[in-house]
Amino acid sequence: MYVDGSSNAGDSGAGLVITGPDNFITEYALRLDFKASNNEAEYEALIAGIALATELQVSRIRVHSDSQLVVSQVNGFSEAKEEQMIKYLKKVRKEISAFEEFQIVQVP
User: Which pLDDT tens digit goes with each residue over 30-89?
Assistant: 998 888 888 999 999 999 999 999 999 999 999 999 999 999 999 999 999 999 999 999
CATH number of the CATH domain containing 100: 3.30.420.10
Confidence (pLDDT) at 34:
82
Question: Within 6-82, where are the H helices?
Answer: 38-55, 68-74
pTM above 0.75, yes or no: yes
* d(C-alpha 80, C-alpha 44), whole Å: 15
How many distinct structural domains can be found in the chain? Answer: 1
Task: State the residue range of the domain holding 11.
Answer: 2-106
* d(C-alpha 38, C-alpha 8), whole Å: 8
